[in-house]
């Protein structure tokens, strides 16, 4: 687990790269959805709360209007000090109770309670300065509203039906002639309870939304993980298959090279050495017979054969690894390769290059040299060409080697089915160095003739080394 967290392998890095953006996106979506849901629900709840409270207020206003209609015929013609009229009005208001908790109350402007039918212990007592549990003035505020004419007031009050405090809204009007504050109130705990239930439902919906998003994210992560595992297994199988194929091709190339070297040793070196041995045995026999003059001719043949064998050994060694490539660079090595090719095959060969301001690195030299070797071998064996040109030059994007012949070109079937082993080896050498290999060829299916083949190998600028001293900087690549 520690290694997975702090030293992930390639497959684990891919999994993290695929899952982290998904998790972050899902978290962001969940947070946005929750925020928007809460915001919209809160606005709706506030609208609902205002509507419910306005309905309560309208109900209170209607109750007060009905109460005034009930005692206005007494209050209207009465004098400010008409005790009988005041008694009749208080009796009327005391009888106006509704529901389980509805009642009318009356306070004079001094704060004395005159009417409180559901809480009779309040009657005839001065309640000036009374506040609720939260410190909100109650009676004093009633009097202030009455002096102003009419208005609303919200406060905490003991609910008659339960004996517990609850939120109350009261509507108060003033009877200025008598200096009375008359009003009634309604408890809104049912409204607040409905609002609380609505908010709880919103939170439940938000939580469910989080759960849904989490479940969707989990399913997506499982799908990503499963697809990643399948892709990883598939790619690993393909990589193993390619590795096996590549290993087999390496073995085949090794065996092919060993076979070539063995054939050349047997066909040339071995025959030459047998001839040298036969010549030297002849010389020894003749010297033993004191035929010194007769020994001169086989001795000369043996020396010539031995010189030829030495040349063949050098040629084979040069084919395996040309020393000029390491000593003088790619340009002279290709020059020697084309000169030997022209001398051996009789095909007219031209090589051209330009002085590089930068040097090619060792891998690039070897790759281009082997590609040139393979191309010249194919030309010699299959093209029937009479002229070959090879051009090597550096440019702003790197280095390019171009080999052109006027042979019959590649068969159309091979162009469709893909390159052979030699061309595929060229392609893989260039891909390993991030280079490109282009093969252009044309051949007539009817006549078998064509305009030849062009092989162009290009390497990126990264394979050109920075210049060293002046002598090294002006050396051919």
Residue 358 has pLDDT above 70, yes or no: no
> CA-to-CA distance for 173 and 68, rounded, in angstroms?
10
pTM of the model: 0.45
Number of domains observed in the structure of the chain:
2
pLDDT > 70 fraction of the chain, expressed in percent and rounded: 87
Strands (E), 99-221: 104-108, 113-115, 150-158, 165-175, 180-187
Please count the other Cβ atoms lying within 10 Å of the Cβ belonging to residue 398: 20
CA distance 161 to 474: 109
Distance CA 367, CA 269 (A): 29
Cα-based distances in Å from 357 to 35, 50, 332, 474: 64, 85, 16, 6
Q: How far, rounded to the nearest angstrom, does the alpha carbon of residue 256 sit from its chain's CA centroid? A: 46
Q: Are 383 and 405 in contact (CB under 8 A)?
A: yes
* Local structure of residue 265 (DSSP, 8 states): I
Spatial separation of the C-alpha atoms in residues 122 and 112, rounded to whole Å:
9
Q: Hunting for tokens 């990503």 — which residue is that?
A: 224
Is residue 267 a part of any domain in this protein?
Answer: no
- DSSP string spanning 433-447? TT-EEEEEEEE-TTT
**In this predicted model, what pLDDT tens digit does every residue of 227-270 receive, in sequence order?**
777 877 887 888 888 888 877 777 776 777 777 777 777 777 77
CA distance linking residue 205 with residue 199, whole number of Å: 10
DSSP H helices, 379-477, are 412-417, 421-432, 470-473
- pLDDT given for residue 472 in this prediction: 43
Q: How many angstroms separate the CA atoms of 83 and 85, rounded? A: 5
Compute the chain's Rg from CA coordinates: 54
Q: Residue 265 domain-assigned?
A: no
Place of tokens 């064509």: 450
CATH number of the domain that residue 102 is part of: 3.30.450.20
Residue 276 contacts residue 305 (beta carbons within 8 Å): yes
> Does 32 fall in a domain?
no
Calpha distance 191→49 (Å, rounded) = 7
Is residue 88 over pLDDT 80?
A: yes
Which residue would you say has higher pLDDT here, 4 or 253?
Answer: 253
CA dist 170 and 143 (Å) reads: 12
Average pLDDT over residues 31-56: 79
CA–CA separation, 260 and 251 (whole Å): 14
Helix pair 330-345, 362-378: axis angle to 10 deg: 10
* 194: its two tokens: 């409905």
| Higher-scoring residue by pLDDT: 254, 173 | 173
Q: Which residues contact 432 (CB under 8 A, 6 or more apart)?
A: 367
383/376 Cα distance (integer angstroms): 10
Dihedral pair phi/psi, residue 8, rounded to 5°: -70, 145
Q: So what's the pLDDT on residue 420? A: 62
Are residues 189 and 49 in contact, defined by beta-carbon separation less than 8 angstroms?
Answer: no
- Within a domain: 382: yes
CA distance 400 to 459: 6
pLDDT for 142 equals: 93
Is residue 471 very low, low, confident or very high in pLDDT (cuts 50, 70, 90)?
A: very low
Confidence of residue 351 (pLDDT cuts 50, 70, 90): very high
Q: Which of 187, 219, 243 marks a domain boundary?
A: 187
Do 432 and 368 meet the contact criterion of CB atoms below 8 Å apart?
no
The answer as to whether 131 is a domain residue is yes
User: Is pLDDT of 470 > 70?
Assistant: no
Cα–Cα distance for residue pair 401/435, rounded to 1 Å: 11
**Of 79-83, 290-294, 427-431, where does mean pLDDT reach its minimum?**
290-294
The CA distance from 411 to 132, in Å, is 105
CATH code for the domain in which residue 433 is found: 3.30.565.10
Give dist(CA 293, CA 289) in Å, integer: 11
| Closest by CA position to 473, among listed 362, 346, 357 | 357
Highest mean pLDDT: which range of 286-290, 305-309, 336-340 = 336-340
For the chain, the distance separating the N- and C-terminal CA atoms, rounded to the nearest angstrom, is 51
Phi, psi of 128 (to 5 degrees): -60, 135
Range of the domain at 362: 328-473
Give the domain-ending residue among 187, 211, 233: 187
The answer to whether residue 401 scores a pLDDT higher than 60 is yes
Q: Is residue 274 part of a domain?
A: no
Is 27 inside any structural domain? no
In a domain, 53, yes or no: no
Contact 169, 53 (CB under 8 A): yes
To 5 degrees, how large is the angle CA 409–CA 369–CA 474?
A: 125
- Last-in-domain residue among 187, 205, 220: 187
């Amino acid at each position: 687990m520690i290694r997975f967290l702090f030293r992930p392998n390639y497959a684990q890095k891919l999994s993290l790269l695929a899952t982290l953006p998904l998790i972050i996106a899902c978290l962001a979506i969940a947070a946005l959805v929750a925020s928007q849901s809460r915001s919209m629900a809160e606005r709706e709840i506030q609208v609902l709360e205002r509507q419910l409270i306005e309905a309560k207020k309208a109900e209170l206003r209607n109750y007060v209007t009905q109460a005034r209609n009930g005692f206005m015929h007494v209050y209207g013609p009465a004098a400010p000090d008409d005790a009988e009229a005041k008694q009749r009005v208080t009796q009327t208001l005391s009888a106006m109770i509704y529901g389980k908790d509805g009642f009318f109350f009356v306070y004079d402007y001094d704060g004395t309670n005159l009417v409180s039918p559901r809480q009779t212990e309040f009657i005839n007592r001065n309640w000036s300065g009374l506040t609720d549990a939260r410190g909100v003035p109650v009676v004093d505020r009633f009097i202030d509203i009455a002096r102003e004419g009419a208005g609303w007031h919200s406060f905490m009050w003991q609910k008659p039906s339960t004996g517990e405090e609850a939120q109350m809204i009261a509507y108060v009007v003033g009877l200025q002639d008598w200096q009375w504050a008359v009003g009634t109130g309604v408890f809104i705990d049912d409204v607040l309870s409905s609002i609380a239930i609505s908010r709880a439902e919103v939170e439940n919906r938000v939580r469910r939304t989080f759960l849904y998003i989490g479940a969707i994210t989990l399913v997506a992560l499982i799908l990503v993980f499963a697809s990643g595992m399948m892709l990883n297994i598939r790619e690993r199988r393909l990589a193993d298959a390619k590795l096996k194929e590549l290993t087999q091709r390496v073995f085949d190339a090794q065996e092919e090279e060993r076979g070539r070297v063995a054939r050349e040793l047997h066909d040339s070196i071995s025959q030459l050495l047998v001839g040298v041995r036969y010549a030297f045995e002849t010389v020894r026999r003749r010297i033993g017979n004191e035929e010194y003059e007769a020994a001169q001719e086989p001795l000369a043949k043996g020396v010539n054969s031995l010189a030829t064998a030495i040349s063949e050994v050098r040629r084979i060694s040069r084919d395996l690894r040309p020393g000029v490539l390491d000593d003088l660079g790619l340009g002279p090595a290709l020059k020697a390769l084309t000169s030997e090719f022209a001398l051996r095959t009789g095909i007219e060969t031209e090589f051209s290059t330009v002085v590089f301001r930068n040097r090619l690195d060792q891998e690039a030299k070897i790759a281009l040299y082997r590609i040139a070797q393979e191309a010249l071998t194919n030309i010699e064996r299959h093209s029937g060409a009479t002229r070959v040109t090879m051009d090597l030059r550096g440019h702003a994007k790197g280095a390019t080697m171009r080999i052109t012949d006027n042979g019959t070109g590649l068969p159309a079937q091979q162009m469709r089915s893909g390159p052979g082993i030699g061309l595929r080896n060229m392609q893989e050498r260039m891909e390993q160095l991030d280079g490109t290999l282009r093969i252009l060829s044309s051949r007539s299916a009817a006549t078998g003739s064509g305009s030849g083949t062009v092989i162009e190998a290009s390497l990126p600028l990264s394979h050109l080394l920075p210049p060293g001293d002046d002598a090294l900087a002006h050396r051919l690549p």
